[in-house]
Amino acid sequence: MRIASAASAFPQHYYSQEMLLAALQEYWGEKVANPNVLRRLHRHVGVEGRFLALPKEEYVKMRTWGEANHHWIRIAKELGEKAVTSALAAAGLHGRNLGAFFFASVTGISSPSIDALLINQMGLCRGIRRVPIFGLGCVAGAAAISRAADYVRAYPDQVALVLSVELCSLTLQREDVSMANLISAGLFGDGAAAVIVTGDECGESGPKILATRSVFYPNTEEMMGWDITEKGFRIILSRDLPDLVRKNLAHDLDGFLAERGLTRSDIKSWVLHTGGPKILEATADALELKNGQLDVSWDCLRRTGNLSSASVLVVLEEVMKNRRPEPGTLGLLAAMGPGFCAEFVLLEW
């Protein structure tokens, strides 16, 4: 099993963090009692700029969840096709080669799901197996790669597509001035990413997927997710998340690696979700990562913000295209998200 390619796609509207801060101050106005709080939050999330699904002026005009969701469907199809087309080209494949399609998103709803709409839009194979994924949030990109690996392990002559599209800006709640929503408004961005996973009979290109592991933490559903109301998606974001990472991540990863006779010191390449400064710092503390081992994640966070499930795929693309390790290097792709849960993918470059 191998990851043959990874490719991202972004909306055309890119704004600096300062421009977005000014727009949000106008958007919320007097609803935010202390504007300095919003300013301080935005300047401490480690983000320099983000892509938005729509021009920033359009968000003030939206009145309903349905209107935002219609934009989500339209733009998800546009970005999804761009990402898939680029990933297929990078892998030297055609859409007719795809045996399964794993689609992940947690920022909009469509039935038929976006994967079905793209099959029609792109003329993909009628026999393709569809697996739409909703509700896994930030972990979904890594989890979808794991499920795609399960598929090609069972069908080694097949190719699986993973696509994540997250348009976080379209979930923004005007009435919600909670700390969680103020933080998320400064942290999350919009974008899409696609990954091609191939079976053992499909060539020798890309890092090998050696093993995967899913970890679920019981009774932690209040840590992260959505409170879904008549107005749309209201963010749930616990301040205790970094503590959960520090208490559990190293133990669970060490157990996963030990089953293969490995330790953390054997891992030389880290492809980790860009959860935000506190999550990245907690991850570095828990795993004792130093000397720039998380630089790629920090750089992606700085350029595009947290893209939820697409983030880890964008980090993967950056590593594959610009910071590829030496052949034989062991690496780990990992993310955490609502559940609360973690996903590990052991790679050999």
pLDDT tops 90 at residue 54: yes
pLDDT tops 90 at residue 30: no
Q: Residue 127: inside a domain, yes or no? A: yes
Band (pLDDT 50/70/90 cuts) for residue 141 is: very high
Residue 19 CA neighbour count, 13 Å, CB half: 12
- Cα distance between residue 115 and residue 130, in whole Å: 7
**Mean predicted confidence (pLDDT) in 97-116:** 96
Q: Residue 255: inside a domain, yes or no? A: yes
pLDDT, residue 305, reads: 96
**Mean predicted confidence (pLDDT) in 253-264:** 97
CATH number, position 156 = 3.40.47.10
- Are 123 and 187 part of one and the same domain? yes
- Are 164 and 16 part of one and the same domain? yes
Q: CB count, 10 Å around CB of 20?
A: 22
- Are 101 and 233 part of one and the same domain? no
pLDDT per residue over 205-257, tens digit each?
A: 899 999 999 999 999 989 888 888 888 888 888 889 999 999 999 999 999 99
pLDDT tops 80 at residue 35: no
Q: What is the largest CA-CA distance in the chain?
A: 61
Q: Residue 31: inside a domain, yes or no? A: yes
SS3 at position 91: helix
User: What is the bridge-based pairing of β-strands 208-216 and 341-348?
Assistant: antiparallel
**Which of 3-7, 199-203, 248-252, 325-329 has the weakest average pLDDT?**
199-203
Q: Residue 78: inside a domain, yes or no? A: yes
Q: Residue 249: inside a domain, yes or no? A: yes
pLDDT tops 80 at residue 182: yes
> Of 139, 174, 198, at which residue does a domain stop?
198
User: What is the bridge-based pairing of β-strands 2-9 and 190-198?
Assistant: antiparallel
- Are 222 and 186 part of one and the same domain? no
- Tally the domains of the chain: 2
**Partner residues linked to 342 by β-bridges:** 215, 336
Q: Residue 328: inside a domain, yes or no? A: yes
pLDDT, residue 40, reads: 86
> Of 198, 232, 247, at which residue does a domain stop?
198
What are the catalytic residues? 138
- Domain encompassing residue 83: 2-198
pLDDT per residue over 13-24, tens digit each?
A: 999 999 999 998
Q: CB count, 10 Å around CB of 62?
A: 17
pLDDT, residue 25, reads: 86
Q: Residue 306: inside a domain, yes or no? A: yes
**Mean predicted confidence (pLDDT) in 108-119:** 96
- Are 78 and 212 part of one and the same domain? no
pLDDT per residue over 269-316, tens digit each?
A: 999 999 999 999 999 999 999 889 999 999 999 999 999 999 999 999
- Are 179 and 298 part of one and the same domain? no
> Of 142, 169, 198, at which residue does a domain stop?
198
**Which of 92-101, 111-120, 235-244, 320-329 has the weakest average pLDDT?**
235-244
Q: Which residues contact 169 (CB under 8 A, 6 or more apart)?
A: 50, 52, 53, 54, 59, 188, 189, 190
Band (pLDDT 50/70/90 cuts) for residue 36 is: confident
Q: Residue 217: inside a domain, yes or no? A: yes
